[in-house]
Structure 1
Amino acid sequence: MRQPESDQAMASVVSRNIAALLERRQAEERSKGAQERLADAITSFTGSMTFVYIHLVLFGAWILINVGWLTFLPRFDPTLVILAMFASVEAIFLSTFVLISQNRMQASADRRAELNLHIDLLAEHEVTRIITLLTAIGEKLGVEESRNPELEELTKDVQPEKVLDTMDQVEQENKEE
């Protein structure tokens, strides 16, 4: 079944956008330094079930040996202090690697949010212009709806800084209550 021409155009635009986003993601991956790649690899591995299984085996064996349940092996940490120290040092390093990856991911999310804001502002501006144009056409043709008072409000450009100021003011008022 053949798609209508408008669906094909839509599909090509969507395909182009997907390809551009994938290329951007791949370029970001290629531009990562060795340290970032290492931190991501460690974070990825430590967030896997393989890591959990390895720890279950190692820590389980350590505990079984040192509480004396495996009598054929000598106890080397009967108070489990060395195990606790090992786990604490490991936790410090793992949390650092996770924070490094999260910081990079947050920076990427911030860039995407800024891009979304720019696109939204552009779309808002375009819609405002379209409403202005359609209202003028409607008035010229004598369409009653073109005299709707809401349309006058919609033809005004949104100023993002005023919206942010209003949001901050409302948030501050809510905190004071």
Structure 2
Amino acid sequence: MDRADGSEDGWLIPKLQHKVKNENWLVESLKRTQDRVADAITGFAGSLNFVYLHSVWFGLWILLNIGLIGAALEFDRYPFGLLTMIVSLEAIFLSTFVMVSQNRQAMRTELRSQLDFEANLRSEVWSTHIGQQLGIDPAHVEAVVAKVIAQAAARQGES
């Protein structure tokens, strides 16, 4: 099977003919260190481990500061002003990291759209060329395509 492209090199198609771009590779190549850090923080902040860690942290903070562990250890008495400030700062930074990640996700969506467009255009050019070489009537093919699209839309409307 490997010899189908004329050479036995472990590839089923010649490497030079592979024109489709891998979106994941492109996105990874564009990432900077700060993007990786923002992704890691956003990924952790969106996990249940983050919720568990904060539940334990808040619980211990409150228990410590209402005197249940020892009155001598209290450092942030009710209404826990220091805790409120820390949580507020954390919320500000987390929301910023989320927005940075969303902006990069939007960039990735635009890149995906461009790559899809290029792949679709390449397929259309090849299909047209092959159809011309085979003597296929493009008007007939377009009529069949329009009919299939209409049928698919009708089926979607039924469900």
Scaled by the length of structure 1, the TM-score of the pair is 0.57
Deviations 1:123-166 (A, max 9, x none): 12221232333235xxxxxxxxx6x9623657xxxxxxxxxxxx
Q: CA deviation at 1:49?
A: 4.5
Query: Would you say the 8 A contact 1:131–1:151 is kept in 2?
Result: no
Distance (Å, rounded) in 2 between the aligned partners of 1:15 and 1:126: 18
Q: Work out whether 1:110 is the aligned partner of 2:84.
A: no
| 1:94 positional shift | 0.3
**Structure 1 Cα separation of the partners of residues 116 and 122 of structure 2:** 10
Structure 2 counterpart of 1:63, one-letter code: I
Q: Cα deviation per residue 1:82-109 (whole Å; 9 max; x = unaligned)?
A: 3233222211110101111221122122
Deviation at 1:13, TM superposition (A): 4.1
Distance 1:9 1:134 in 2: 31
Aligned residue identity for 1:132: Q
Give the Cα separation in 2 of the matches to 1:68 and 1:129.
81
Residue equivalent to 1:56: 55
The one-letter amino acid of 2:132's match is T
Larger displacement relative to structure 2 (46-55 or 56-65):
46-55
- 2:43 aligned residue: 44
Q: How many residues of Structure 1 are paired with residues of Structure 2 in the alignment?
A: 138
Whose helix proportion is higher, 1 or 2?
1
Output the amino acid matched with 1:78: Y
Instruction: Give the direction of change, closer, same or farther, for the CA distance of 1:152–1:76 in structure 2 (3 Å limit).
Output: closer
Q: Which runs of 5+ in 2 are unaligned?
A: 145-159
1:1-177 aligned at under 5 Å gives the runs: 3=1, 5-6=3-4, 12-13=12-13, 21=22, 24-29=26-31, 32=32, 34-72=33-71, 73-74=73-74, 76-135=76-135, 150-151=140-141, 153=143
Aligned to 1:102, what secondary structure does the other structure show? helix
Instruction: Please give the alpha-carbon distance, in whole angstroms, between the structure 1 residues aligned to 2:26 and 2:15.
Output: 14
For the Cα contact (< 8 Å) 1:40–1:101, is it kept in 2? Answer: yes
Distance 1:153 1:114 in 2: 27
Instruction: Give 1:39 deviation, angstroms.
Output: 2.3
Percent identity, aligned pairs only, is 35
Q: 1:39 to 1:64 in 2, by over 3 A?
A: same
Q: TM-score, normalised by structure 2?
A: 0.62
Conserved 8 A contact 1:77-1:83: no
Structure 1: which 5+ residue stretches go unaligned?
137-145, 155-177
